[in-house]
Amino acid sequence: DVKVTQSSRYLVKRTGEKVFLECVQDMDHENMFWYRQDPGLGLRLIYFSYDVKMKEKGDIPEGYSVSREKKERFSLILESASTNQTSMYLCASSLSGRDEQYFGPGTRLTVT
Amino acid sequence: AQKVTQAQTEISVVEKEDVTLDCVYETRDTTYYLFWYKQPPSGELVFLIRRNSFDEQNEISGRYSWNFQKSTSSFNFTITASQVVDSAVYFCALILTDSWGKFQFGAGTQVVVTP
C-alpha cells in the first residue's frame, strides 16, 4: 500500500518560531509537493520538487522554504511563523509532474 | 492563467439520491489533464480519476460517473444512489500538459449524505 506520511497531525507554534514540517513517501516518486488548504480557497501550491535538491515555487511561496536532501523526504520550513500561516498543510507525491498525486493525512498548524 | 471553479460550496442529500458536482475550468491551452479527488473526514485526499483533454468519453466506475464537455469547459462528477460513506469534500483539479507540477485546484464541494 502506497504511503505518504507527515510528521505531525497537529502542531501549535508561537509567532516568530521556526517551524519544520516533514513529509516522507515510500513510492520512489520523483515529484513531491506542499500545499496549504484553507476554507473556500481549496488547495494552493506552495512549493514542489521534481528531483533531489531541485525545487520550484508554486503560487504562494512567500514566507516558506523547502528542502529535499533525499528522494523520499520533503520538508517545508516556516522561517518565522506568523498567524496568517495557520492552516492545514498537505504533502503529496507523484510519479511525474502530471500524474495523479498521493496525499498525506495533513498537518493542522496553529500559530498563536 | 488557468482557473478551476467549483461553484457549489455544499450539497446535502438523503441517502440513495443522486448528486452532481460541477467543475468548470478556464485555460487557453488545448492540452491539459483534469482530475477529481475525494477528501473524507480523515483528511487524506484520494485520487478518483484523471482525464486528458483529448479524451471526451464519459466514464463510469461503479456508482461514480464523469461527464467531460470541452465545449463548455466542464468536467462534472455524478454520484448515483449516494451513501453515507460518500460524505466528503470533493476537489476538481487541472494541469496543463506543458506545465510540470503546477496543479490548480478548485475550492472544493462538501457533500453531506444523511441516512
pLDDT in tens, B26-77: 999 999 999 999 999 988 999 999 999 998 888 899 999 999 999 999 999 9
Which residue's C-alpha cell is 504533502?
A: A91
Q: Does B51 touch chain A (CB under 8 A)?
A: no
Q: Which three cell numbers stand for residue B65?
A: 460517473
Which among A5, A33, A43 is the top mutation candidate for probing chain B, defined by the most B β-carbons within 10 Å of its own β-carbon? A43
DSSP state of A59: S
pLDDT at A2 over 70: no
User: Could you tell me if B91 and B29 are in contact, meaning their C-beta atoms sit under 8 angstroms apart?
Assistant: no
Q: Do B108 and A102 touch (CB under 8 A)?
A: no
* pLDDT for the residue numbered B56: 85
- pLDDT(B83) > 90: yes
Distance CA(A51)–CA(A29), nearest Å, equals 9
B107–A41: do the CB atoms touch at under 8 Å? Answer: yes
Q: What are the chain A neighbours of B44 within 8 Å (beta carbons)?
A: 103-106
Q: How far apart are CA B73 and CA B23, in angstroms?
A: 8
* Best of A98, A101, A108 to mutate (most B CBs within 10 Å, chain B): A98
User: What is chain A's mean pLDDT, rounded?
Assistant: 95
Read off the pLDDT of residues A56-98 as tens digits, 9 standing for 90 and up: 999 999 999 999 999 999 999 999 999 999 999 999 999 988 8
Q: Is the pLDDT of residue B103 over 80?
A: yes
Is it the case that residue B82 has pLDDT exceeding 90? yes
